Amino acid sequence: MLKIGIVGCGGRMGRMLLRQTLETDGVRLIGGTERPGSALVGQDLGVLAGADPIDVTVTDNPAALFAAADAVIDFTRPEATLAHAALAAETNTVLVIGTTGLEGADIDRLRDAAGRTRIVQAPNMSAGVNLLFALTRQVAATLGIAFDIEIVEHHHRHKVDAPSGTALGLGRAAAEGRGVDLDAVSDRGRDGHTGPRADGHIGFAVLRGGDVVGDHTVVFAGPGERLELTHKASDRAIYAHGALRAARWAADQPNGLYGMADVLGLG
């Protein structure tokens, strides 16, 4: 029985992770944390998840959680995630990271921590989205520069980062397919008299509004035809399912930094 802890358990995604952990065979919810001073500290995790009490309460002590858990799932913020990675390295605890907004230097720090534990980091834990990453890479490589690539994403009005981590992941997949560096060809905003589209650029368009869980479309627009690859998420449970799958998979792996492509066997 894999002992699971959830950091940031009081947020929308944290509560979903609590519920899915309670409902998943082969794992046991042993703790959850929130920030010091949070009104949720001391609340029963089962009640917080919308279920029956389990006599395990929210704490503000992530160090104790990492020491007790076999795996911890983290959908928080970059600064918190980096601190959690250090704790995972100290305790040799599996860490599954769905936090978005991580930059290149942050990934380097995760890679360092993964030398002493197992970390799975992905901008999106959905099986469908990770298949979309693989398809985007393949299509970009096949169609070549004759096709313009635009990535459109739509999320709920409360999302704080843009473009989404998933959209950037799709951009990286497209750039890898073309054998280029995304930072060198990324176009993240157009306003005013921009001139014609630059050849080879990968564009991003961001929509925010309502309660949209997450919609992503990769558009390949070529001469006389257009191909669109789309994934629409209607339930955050898909991310929780993926995170728990990653935790169970990583528990049997050697130390290292992994992605969901590794977990799903997508190479």
What CATH number corresponds to the domain at position 142? 3.30.360.10
- Is there a binding annotation on residue 13? yes
Residue-by-residue pLDDT tens, the chain, 267 positions: 999 999 999 998 999 999 999 999 999 999 999 999 999 999 999 999 999 999 999 999 999 999 999 999 999 999 999 999 999 999 999 999 999 888 889 999 999 999 999 999 998 899 999 999 999 999 999 999 999 999 999 999 999 889 998 999 999 999 999 999 999 999 998 889 989 999 999 999 999 999 999 999 999 999 999 999 999 999 989 999 999 999 999 999 999 999 999 999 986
> Of 159, 201, 231, 232, which one is the catalytic site residue?
159
The CATH code of the domain that includes 244 is 3.40.50.720
Q: Which residues pair with 2 in a beta bridge?
A: 27
Nearest CA to 183 out of 165, 201, 166, 195 is that of 201
- Same domain, yes or no, for 6 and 52? yes
- Please compute, for residue 243, the number of CA atoms within 13 A of its CA located in the half-sphere on the CB side: 29
Same domain (yes/no): 100, 133:
no
158 is catalytic: no
Q: Say if residue 111 is in the same domain as residue 240.
A: yes
Say yes or no: 203 and 152 in one domain: yes
To the question of whether residue 99 is assigned a binding role by annotation, the answer is: yes
Q: How many domains does the chain have?
A: 2
Q: Residue 28 is part of which domain span?
A: 2-121+236-264
- Shared-domain flag, residues 6 and 100: yes
162 and 213 belong to one structural domain? yes
Q: Are residues 7 and 110 in the same domain?
A: yes
Catalytic residue selected from 155, 158, 201, 232 = 155
Q: Is 156 annotated as a binding residue?
A: yes
Closest C-alpha to 88, from 104, 70, 106? 70
* Residues 109/114/117/118 CA torsion (nearest 10 deg): 120
Residue 223 assigned ligand-binding role: no
Q: Do residue 131 and residue 183 come from a single domain?
A: yes
Q: Is 241 a catalytic residue?
A: no
**pTM for the structure as a whole:** 0.84
Q: Are residues 144 and 190 in the same domain?
A: yes
